[in-house]
A and B are shown apart, each in its own frame.
Chain A
Amino acid sequence: MIEVRHGVFEIRVNKDYCKACGLCTAWCPQNVLAEDEEDYPITPGLKNCINCKLCERHCPDFAIEILPPEHPEHSKYKGVL
């Protein structure tokens, strides 16, 4: 069984690479992502993220990334347990 975790993931959008194509927002199944006034993705529903990575898979520009708590760049990273 895969354990579904909520509210522990962080989403990082690299605006240098992002071209505001809207693919990540279109594919998000949990309504985590939305578009701001310049069509860049923002994360109003971050607590619903389930780390499915559909946004990452469909991003053609390597601009969006989901950071699980195991990732060193996550803000609550506690090191290798």
Chain B
Amino acid sequence: MKLQTSQILKDYMRSEMLPTTWCPGCGLGIIMSSIVQAIHYQGLDKDEVAMVSGIGCTGRMSGYTDFNSIHTTHGRAPTFATGLKMARPNMKIFTIMGDGDAMSIGGNHLISAMRRNIDMTAIVVNNSIYGLTGGQSSPTTPTGSKTTTAKHRTIERPMNLEVLARAAGVPFFARATVNHTASLVKMVERAMNISGFSIIEIISNCHVLYGKMNQRPEASDMIADMDNDTYRSNPALEKRSSQAVRITSPDAPFGDSEDSKNVDGFEADDRTGRGIIIENKGSVDFSARYYSMLEYLKNQKEKAGDLS
């Protein structure tokens, strides 16, 4: 069941800020609604939830939702969220980032937060382009697609967040799309219950900039294409990561070269797996370890005091 829209608006949104400034048909609104529904179904109080966002189209999400919110500098959303989690260990933190925010300027901050295993739910909205600044190539632009900075098609390979997350040892990684909204709500709910850094990469649409330059000017076409661009992955069957996110654009003239298709054992299939790919329920997050270490040191000190 879906939560009634009037209830979402009444209980969780700052209605005076609506309508959103996002373009008509942008998937960010779908993502915002899914996060709010997941928080509602988990029965969390609004004051226990914090939403941290960086710069970009995604950065505006913290202003529209009625939680504790921080709109921070470009790429530093995980950094601010780390400080927040250490100061308020009981808070549920959502870190909303775009692909440029998380993977290019904030790449190192994201890696450090993943490596430390800070308890937060990071949501990386991947729309394959820098939307806010006018359609420049981002780290996730598929090979062979046109952008304003790659008029003659991109020849770089896109970044694979799944492999990065695996290397940094995150306990939860999932990939969703804005087309499969019901499973997106379930994934956010599962990610919230993981102690540690849980990350969800959500494939979204930028039909206004990316789509217009790549023969997909309609939002509905671009979202419907996600059914064909992705397949439902089964983590039990896939021991290793499959392939990068949309590694070639469907219209790439020279996208089918050896270089762009076969990346170190990846198959020639350029569809992207969606679903929960890594889930480690036994993980313990950084703030819990930190506070238990403080407790241990305190006890040691008291013991030493008793002896002397």
Question: Chain A interface (Cβ within 8 Å of chain B)?
Answer: 16-17, 19-23, 26-27, 53, 56-65, 71, 73
Q: Which residues of B contact A61 (CB under 8 A)?
A: 18-20, 24, 29
Complex interface: stretch among B218-226, B259-267, B269-277: B218-226
**14 pairs across A/B with beta carbons < 8 Å?**
A16-B19, A19-B23, A19-B24, A19-B25, A21-B220, A22-B219, A22-B220, A58-B181, A59-B5, A60-B33, A62-B29, A63-B19, A64-B5, A65-B6
Whether the Cβ atoms of A17 and B19 lie closer than 8 Å is: yes
Task: Pick from A56, A57, A73 the residue with the most CB of B within 10 Å.
Answer: A57
Nearest residue (CB) in A for B2 is: A53
**Sample of 12 more A-B contacts, CB < 8 Å, known A57-B30, A60-B27, A65-B6:** A17-B19, A23-B223, A27-B220, A57-B182, A59-B29, A60-B26, A60-B28, A60-B32, A61-B20, A61-B29, A62-B9, A62-B33
Q: Which residues of B contact A73 (CB under 8 A)?
A: 6
Whether the Cβ atoms of A19 and B182 lie closer than 8 Å is: no
Whether the Cβ atoms of A56 and B25 lie closer than 8 Å is: no
Q: How far apart sit A71 and B10, CA to CA, in the bound complex (Å)?
A: 15
Whether the Cβ atoms of A23 and B5 lie closer than 8 Å is: no
* Residue B257 at the chain A interface, CB threshold 8 Å: no
Given A21-B219, A22-B219, A22-B220, CB of A57 within 8 Å of CB of B2: yes
Whether the Cβ atoms of B218 and A22 lie closer than 8 Å is: yes
Q: Which of B215-235 contact A (CB under 8 A)?
A: 218-220, 223-224
Q: Is the interface of A mostly helix, strand, loop or mixed?
A: loop
Q: Which residues of A contact B8 (CB under 8 A)?
A: 62
Whether the Cβ atoms of A58 and B30 lie closer than 8 Å is: yes
* Residue B133 at the chain A interface, CB threshold 8 Å: no
Q: How far apart sit A53 and B8, CA to CA, in the bound complex (Å)?
A: 14
Q: Which residues of A contact B290 (CB under 8 A)?
A: none
Nearest residue (CB) in A for B32 is: A60
Q: How far apart sit A60 and B26, CA to CA, in the bound complex (Å)?
A: 7
- What's the minimum C-beta distance from B30 to chain A, rounded to whole angstroms? 5
Q: Which residues of B contact A17 (CB under 8 A)?
A: 18-19
Q: Which residues of B contact A60 (CB under 8 A)?
A: 20, 22, 25-30, 32-33
Q: How far apart sit A18 and B224, CA to CA, in the bound complex (Å)?
A: 20
